Amino acid sequence: MGAVSDSGPRSVSIATIRDAGREQPVFVDPNRGTIAAQAVYPDFTGDARDLISLDMELNLRKRVAALPDQRLHPFSTRRFTAPYRHPRKIWGIGLNYLDHAQDLGELVPDEPASFIKADHTIIGADDPIVLPEQSERVTVEAELGLIIGREARCVSEAEALDYVWGVCTILDQTAEDILQRNPRFLTRAKNFPTFFSFGPYLVPLEDVVDDQGGIGHLVVRTVVGPDAVRENRVANMRFSPEYLVSFHSQMMPLFPGDIISSGTPGALVVAPGDVAECDIPGVGVLRNPVIAQEAGGPRIKL
């Protein structure tokens, strides 16, 4: 039947498959296969974003673990895609590791340097990252994603992870030459189509926390080819995951399915023909090939 890679989730996670031209949320048992969300909870009719808040309330993943093997479908019959297409918000965090700030010749800020990405940027595993004609220097940035599980408003840092359902792998892209012309061009540089890949798995928080309930031990790796690697531990972030959730909840409410892309240990320049990876042991590996935009054509098929 196959299994999730050794670097992937250890218990039941959430994902989305493409089946007969339709995207369907599923639960993923790493050793046994997948099962449709509706087969676990017959009244369910939403997408994986809706499934997050429902699972936060009912812990449906326990039901999956109790199902017999024959109820699950083998991995070889499944094509995973982006977990969901329309989060209320995607928060990106810039310059959250000292090493990446040095890449750009910037100082690490005293407060999170956050920005918003729109949902038209979303792709999933194995979808192509398309390099826009406007840019001659695009970078990919592996990041740990925090998936909000229930509404958070003005929460403290101490309670912040209580509002996080889980984590995921992310590749966040930047038209770096555009950004370097003017730091106020950040939204433009970050929001070309295909500039936000996430998944394929949404991994529950309890799968990755350490004995003290934290996630600072996780290692985030940006990989392009066999030799280009940038990596660092979450513990070396300027602003911790807990701080990021609390900080942004003071500004505006965070809703189930909102994503905080917590910053990269390092960016790598990509060119057509490359394959970019975000590798976070215990969470998974996200891979996307890189292609050039067709000359003169804004249309991109995902």
Please name the residues in contact with 299: beta carbons below 8 A apart, sequence gap of 6 or more.
none
Strand order in the sheet with 13-19: 13-19, 22-29, 33-36
Confidence band, pLDDT 50/70/90 cuts, at residue 110: confident
Model confidence pTM above 0.85: yes
Q: What is the pLDDT of residue 7?
A: 79
Mark 90-125 as b/e (b = at least 16 C-beta within 10 Å). bbbbbbbbeebbebbeeebeeebbbbebeeebbbbb
- The CATH 3.90.850.10 portion of the chain extends over 90-292
Confidence band, pLDDT 50/70/90 cuts, at residue 1: very low
- Give the model confidence (pLDDT) of 272-282 as tens digits: 999 999 999 99
- Give the model confidence (pLDDT) of 123-132 as tens digits: 999 999 999 9
Q: What is the pLDDT of residue 302?
A: 47
Cα 243-277-32 angle, rounded to 5 deg: 90
pLDDT at residue 69 above 60? yes
Cα–Cα distance, 74 to 190 (Å, whole number) = 36
Task: From 96, 113, 115, 101, select the one nearest 263 (Cα to Cα).
Answer: 96
Fold category of 90-292 in CATH? Fumarylacetoacetate hydrolase; domain 2 (3.90.850)
